[in-house]
Amino acid sequence: MGKTDKKVKPMHRFFGREHWIGISLFLAIYDMIAVAMSYFLALWLRFDCRFSTIPEQHLKAWMYFTPAYVVTAIFIFYVLRLYKSIWRFASYSELLRTIVASMLTAVVHTFGITFMMRKMHGIFTRYTRMPISYYIIGAIIQFCLILGIRFVYRFFILLKSEIHRDHGVDGANVMIIGAGAAGQMIVRDINSTKEVGDRVVCIIDDNKNKQGRYIDGVPVVGGRDSIMDAVEHYHVKKIFLAIPSAEMSERRDILAICQETGCELKNLPGMYQLVNGDVTVSNLKKVSIEDLLGRDPIRVDMGEVFSFLHGKTVLVTGGGGSIGSELCRQVAAHHPKRLIIFDIYENNAYNIQLELKEKHPELDLVTLIGSVRDSRKMFQVFEQYKPDVVYHAAAHKHVPLMEDSPCEAIKNNAIGTYKTAYAAMVHGCQRFVLISTDKAVNPTNIMGASKRLCEMIVQSFDVKIKEGKATEIPQLFTHYTKTRGGKEKLDLIGNAEFFRNIKTEFVAVRFGNVLGSNGSVIPIFKKQIEKGGPVTVTHPDIIRYFMTIPEAVSLVLLAGTNAKGGEIFVLDMGSPVKIDTLARNLIKLSGLKPDIDIKIEYTGLRPGEKLYEEKLMAEEGIRKTENEKIHIGCPLKFDIDRFLDDLDDLMDAAYANSRDIKRLVASMVNTYHQEGVDAIRSETYRMLMKEAGEDTVGDSAARESRDDDN
């Protein structure tokens, strides 16, 4: 069987994936005949299309010279790559190379056959050249034959596609938005694609100079205000957005109009494809809800970030989660000395481990399973691997679940952060970056309060270290250790000199809801839409700030690079988005109509849930950074010594599963309100609602739709 397979494989390659070799051989044979016969036809035409009137010396010269000329011409064609082009996509480049090849061979033929004539009849004989018309007509015929065979296939494909489209075979009418270079490339790609059916019927562009004109036979019918009429007039089923250079706000406004058409929407993501000439239908992506957030994506100078990470050992706790795994991806791509993935959930950790090993086989990757609540485990990890930078993403984040299990939120979020931070501090870690949330601002739920405790913990560590009082930071234990050496059970008096040399910088990063993350509302909505509804929204007026996973990770990395210690980095996430509007937009992006095809049900606020989230407490204040979309919150002042003392009692209560845990948290976090917070800050909420209503795309349309239904 093995021998048989080896014999069959070359034939399979010849007639299968590499059938272009066969096509090239066919073209070469055709070219041999074409270059030989083109000049014979020129001779025949020159003498009135009568073979008998052709002078014998001319005919002999053609016969003797043709073999050498054919070999020379084929060599020139090969050098100019006329046998390696994909001729169904033939364009200006192929035409130019064919013209150059024809001119070169015409010159070769002119001088070659003239030399042949002189050699045959002597230098001073009368017949030293062919008729001038022979050279001109022969070159023209050869050019037409060589070019024709190469472009006839493309012409046949286009003609076949047009016939199918005219008869409505398996296709849809397409509208292109953007009459620039990208739009033109998309039009040509659709026209030349093998999969016939779709047809570009109109183009939209706001440039009045382009309106009323044509691109490859397709009319530019008007600007964005003509989209609705053009969709109806041309029976458009698909809309392709091909304006990669447009600002996010402009793109958002156009997409908002397109949403109302019910057409399938696709979008060219950015300038990268245009710059690289890689603009095809396959590169168009379905319009996602991120495209409708209404703000430009945050851009960070990642060169500075990754020069900081280069050659360092980096630990990511919660490395299997949505934020943690993206952190691992970006760090791994920029040559750290070692990357350590730490997570309690082995499936997530295993998945990101496999992904990174495949993409970065050279990476020194360590994957560890454990809990940040286990101080012995954390000390072991830091003692063995000595990470330079820690990104602490491990946390419980689900608000309603934590309301039912508040002690678990404190154990994992607050105490887990404390133990990880302490292990980082005493093992010489340079930077500790806490990943926080906007739910830590004026929290009304235990999850948000636990994250506020985390922020206070890293701020306490930073203050004590800068004051040279790291020995005053207690080491929290939930077990009695028998270890007598090492740093797991530190002697705060005997190691006083060691504590004075600690330089670890602690910083927190606060951002809003992350689209596509575990627990994000978008995947839930999508599943509900796939099932035919209903889509459940907690409240018609609930609003949130949103950002994408790459944006969140960029901010985290930037904080780890530029931190001086004690800061809370905050992303300016733009205008808040109404969840109801988000749900309605997602239904429209699926080609359905809210409240008609898919019902929306309001289930009421869940325990601990607010109508709105805040980016900063009013009393914190902000100061700007070099990036206009990134701010730094000034730390709130609190009694750090009392706070550190109270943490020990809070830990005991949490591990005792005390029912009084929320009251204890409220005594430590004075901004934590379990009830009545929305009523107290109703004016702030009304201002945010106004901002969301005016600036959020599709909101007015959604509101009108809901009013009409009522």
Q: What is the CATH number of the domain that holds 176?
A: 3.40.50.720
- DSSP-assigned beta bridge partners for residue 218: 215
Residues present in the chain in total: 710
Note whether 173 and 151 are same-domain residues: no
Q: What pLDDT does residue 568 have?
A: 82
Note whether 175 and 151 are same-domain residues: no
CB 443 within 8 A of CB 449: yes
Here the tokens at position 690 are 């106004």
Residue 533 lies inside a defined structural domain of this protein: no
Three-state DSSP state, 137 = helix
In which domain, by residue range, is 320 found? 302-481+494-518+546-575+616-670
Note whether 98 and 188 are same-domain residues: no
Report H helices in 16-131: 20-46, 56-79, 92-121
- Cα torsion 678, 680, 686, 691: sign: negative
Given 163, 193, 227, the domain boundary residue is 163
Say if residue 220 is exposed, middle or buried (CB neighbours under 10 Å; 0-12, 13-18, 19+). Answer: buried
CB 158 within 8 A of CB 87: no
- H or E stretch including 598? none
Phi, psi of 421 (to 5 degrees): -65, -40
Cis geometry, peptide bond prior to residue 576 (ω within 30 degrees of 0): no
Active-site annotation holder among 439, 464, 615, 629: 439
Pairing assessment for the beta strands 199-204 and 218-222 based on DSSP bridges = parallel
Here the tokens at position 200 are 């570009």
Note whether 367 and 440 are same-domain residues: yes
Given 139, 163, 187, the domain boundary residue is 163
Note whether 365 and 438 are same-domain residues: yes
Report H helices in 310-413: 322-332, 346-359, 375-385, 399-404, 406-409
Here the tokens at position 258 are 């397109």
Say if residue 329 is exposed, middle or buried (CB neighbours under 10 Å; 0-12, 13-18, 19+). Answer: middle
Q: What pLDDT does residue 488 have?
A: 53
Phi, psi of 148 (to 5 degrees): -60, -45
Instruction: Kindly report whether the global pTM for this prediction surpasses the value 0.85.
Output: no
Residue 584 lies inside a defined structural domain of this protein: no
CB 657 within 8 A of CB 650: no
CB 113 within 8 A of CB 43: no
Residue 689 lies inside a defined structural domain of this protein: no
Q: What pLDDT does residue 2 have?
A: 43
CA 82 to chain centre: 37
| Residue ranges, the chain, pLDDT below 50 | 1-17, 123-125, 167-169, 194-195, 270-283, 481-487, 493-494, 618-619, 676-692, 694-710
Instruction: Tell me which residue has tokens 């020139």.
Output: 76
550's CB contacts (< 8 A; 6+ apart) are 297, 326
Rg (C-alpha) for the chain, rounded Å, is: 36
CA atoms of 275 and 278, how far apart (whole Å): 8
Phi, psi of 544 (to 5 degrees): -145, 155
Given 145, 163, 181, the domain boundary residue is 163
Pairing assessment for the beta strands 505-511 and 568-571 based on DSSP bridges = parallel
Nearest alpha carbon to residue 260 among 701, 706, 581: 701
The amino acid occupying position 138 is G
Q: b/e per residue, 496-525, with b = 16+ CB within 10 A?
A: eeebeebebbbbbbbbbbbbebeeebbeeb
Q: Residue 143, Cβ neighbours under 10 Å: how many?
A: 19
CB 142 within 8 A of CB 105: yes
Residue 582 lies inside a defined structural domain of this protein: no
Residue 380 lies inside a defined structural domain of this protein: yes
Residue 377 lies inside a defined structural domain of this protein: yes
Note whether 434 and 466 are same-domain residues: yes
**15: alpha, beta or left? (left if phi > 0; alpha if psi -120 to 50):** alpha
Nearest alpha carbon to residue 165 among 135, 195, 209, 210: 195
Note whether 112 and 177 are same-domain residues: no
Note whether 407 and 451 are same-domain residues: yes
Residue 694 lies inside a defined structural domain of this protein: no
439 tagged catalytic:
yes
* Percent of residues in the chain assigned helix, strand, coil, to nearest 5: 55, 15, 35
Where are the strands (E) in 330-480, listed by range?
338-343, 365-369, 389-392, 431-437
Note whether 225 and 272 are same-domain residues: yes
Nearest alpha carbon to residue 204 among 180, 237, 181: 180
Note whether 368 and 502 are same-domain residues: yes
Note whether 238 and 220 are same-domain residues: yes
Note whether 89 and 231 are same-domain residues: no
CA atoms of 561 and 331, how far apart (whole Å): 12
Residue 258 lies inside a defined structural domain of this protein: yes
Number of domains in the chain: 3
